[in-house]
Structure 1
């Protein structure tokens, strides 16, 4: 009965309905105890307490992850009293894999449930994950209060460690605080707190690292794999992709930004050398004209021109994600748009001669061009619909 209840909840049935199905609806404490002893995942408040993200493909695998069938074999072996060595041999896995699996997913009651282990593994793979401070608003509020009083992240981390030496959930390292301020826009702390630090820096300065160059610059940057799922399906507007269009011998350039859902284009006027400060200044000036709900994120490649990405994140309150090296298809909307822009910004030409007004005219022409992907509406019309709806 207990196993049946756990299985039903893991498959997406609400706990209330599952209790009725197994015949324990009259005693509410029993299914609650079963779920707790099994080490159950947190249930959502809606739908009478159901798993918020149940597994859809129970037969599918991710990389080298254990399958549901293998986890069922582990459950059966443990209940039959088999050794871990025997279980590992039966599923053709190493004993260390079985040992880690049992240790990771065995509940407080000592039982291992295959469906629950599969559900927990599925949820642990979700990206992006909430930061520790996002999961603990009370802790974030304490840190914000101390920083408003001039405390340094190191002092805050030390005091939290002294207060709770054995409670890791109630404390954070100073690195976690710095990451929330400089790397993870909206990572659980107010972004203006960076100005409360004694240095008053809006960007963190790396020190004494053996990693140099662009690799060091983007060491703490957000990767494209960390983008929310809503970016990929284009269902939510406000996610942008960007790059530089280069002129003859790479001596001149124009910055391009395209919104993924409407294909609306913004061109950045970069008549001087495209240093990180110049690109950041132009991007902040252009995108600040947009309402907040239309600048949710930016995706760029790992070029030196966006080395001031943390400054962009702080001013626009929008995270900047970086595509993997040598992977232009990960910014497909931007690559397609750049090909269209070559009608005006031809390869091998000198792009420094274009004025800001001329670039705005080119952008207007492209934004007024009907697009098959928009059911032959123009990007300008699509963006205007979003502004009117807001």
Structure 2
């Protein structure tokens, strides 16, 4: 016969364990057998060490006092548990405890247990243990996981792909899941755990050590004092005001390149001839040469990627009396108009070809063809006609 427990027994049991009681002690307190308590603890989804027995309890329990203002404390998590139980929205719960709704959403999503419920004491203990430093290297003990990672890396799989496939294949087994950052850490630190020492050579870049993702990596960047894309005026985003451009390079073989500039409002395209190289000096000279003839109101701003080819941006700003804004690192989508135009230009400038064979006359001919092409985004008008209207208005 299956024993029925009060609805509060499960929650009381978890509160007792997270408060320092052992699984056995907590089970007896709520009138459950040890096996039932063990099942409840497993369902909570925690990967924390618990001292099973008559004494002991949760390893490294969270302090009972309220945490720092930035982190949720136990009282706040208790309010979240009550609010979720009552079916309140994340916005309402956030207003009750003075937190943004996104904080509540992340907290519930991160700490909901396997039975689909949120327990304040469990979430608080888990959050405390997640903040511990230094964290133990997961790949020290999991030999089976290390062997599988080695097999996939032998086939050329990246740590990011391996992490995704582990989550896909072992969705219910946390011991067989690991982040790509943990794999990189195991590859590049002196103590690799059970990963083979030669696996770092399987990475696509074959670096001897990891490039740090810190501010030190960019401390010598020429764009330290430059304007960020987040500082652009709102008129740039809605395309209502002409004269805002996006730019980038199309890269070919042997370091050859062509510069591209696209006006956001009209989609009018200018191509920059870069003979021999695409250094900062060459790109700046080409941009100044091609854009100097434009009227002032059509040179309001230029948005570019963070490539070193625009390190002379201050010289460009002064010569053209414009403002240059730079995208966030690795965010080409922030120049969507330019990216779409570059895809169209690949019809004439194919990938893997020598772009230095194209003369300035070739570039002007291609740009003219593209600017005479009707665009659905312009109600089938052409960029040339749209820009001509802007020039006549001036």
Tell me the TM-score normalized by structure 2: 0.46
Tell me which of the two structures has the higher relative contact order, counting C-alpha pairs closer than 8 angstroms and 6 or more residues apart.
Answer: 1
- Higher radius of gyration, 1 or 2: 2
